[in-house]
Amino acid sequence: KTAMQIVEIMKVMEARHPVVMATRVSAEKSAEIQAALPQATYFEMARICAIQPSVPLAIRPGKLSILTAGTADLPVAEEAAVTAELCGFQVTRLWDVGVAGIHRLLSNRHVIDQSDVLIVAAGMEGALPSVVAGLADCPVVTVPTSVGYGASFNGLAPLLTMLNSCATGIG
C-alpha cells in the first residue's frame, strides 16, 4: 500500500477502534503517514505505525514473554511485542537467548516459569522453541524467521524444525 492509502485506512479505522496499526511500514512511509496523521507513532524496530488512545487501555491479565534466538530475529519479535503492548498486554522481552549460548536462556528460567504464554522467534535451524517448550508448562507460539546463513533456506529450515518438534504445547 502507498502511504496515502494507509492514511485513509487509518482514518476510517480510528473512528471505530481505539488502536489502529499498520504493520511492515518503512521509515520513509512512516514519515509520510505521520505528516498526515500527527497522532501516529512509529515503532522503528517493529516497523509499526500506530494510533493509540489518549487514555491507555486497561492492562490485560496474564504474563506474556517474547524470546529471540538471536539479534537478527529482533524485528519480528518486536512486531509481536509492540502489537501485544498496543492491545493492553504487559510484555517481557528476552533477546538473544538461543541454543548457541543456552546459558543465557537457562539463567532466565524464572521468566519462562512465570509466563502464561511464550512467543519464540528463531531463524537458522529454529531449535529454540523446542528447548523452551521442553522447559515450559504454558503454550509456546513459535515464529520462524527468514534470517540466518548457511542452510536456513530463507526460513524453511526453522519452519520445518518447529513443525517437527516433539515438545508439547507448541503452536
Q: 124 and 71 in one domain?
A: yes
The reply to whether 75 and 153 lie within a common domain is yes
| 56 domain-assigned | no
**pLDDT band at residue 58 using 50, 70 and 90 as cut-offs:** confident
- Assigned domain for 57 exists: no
Cα 34 from Cα 80, distance rounded (Å): 22
* Parent domain of 37: 3-51
Same domain, 32 and 116: no
Q: Is 101 within a domain? A: yes
Q: Are residues 69 and 137 in the same domain?
A: yes
In a domain? residue 13: yes
Cell of 84: 501485544
Number of domains, the chain: 2
Contact residues for 61 (Cβ-Cβ < 8 A; gap 6+): none
On whether both 71 and 121 belong to a single domain, the answer is yes
169, part of any domain: no
Give dist(CA 143, CA 71) in Å, integer.
Answer: 14
For residue 132, what pLDDT band results from cuts at 50, 70 and 90? very high
Q: Are both 15 and 82 inside the same structural domain?
A: no
Q: Is the pLDDT of residue 104 over 70?
A: yes
pTM of the model: 0.87
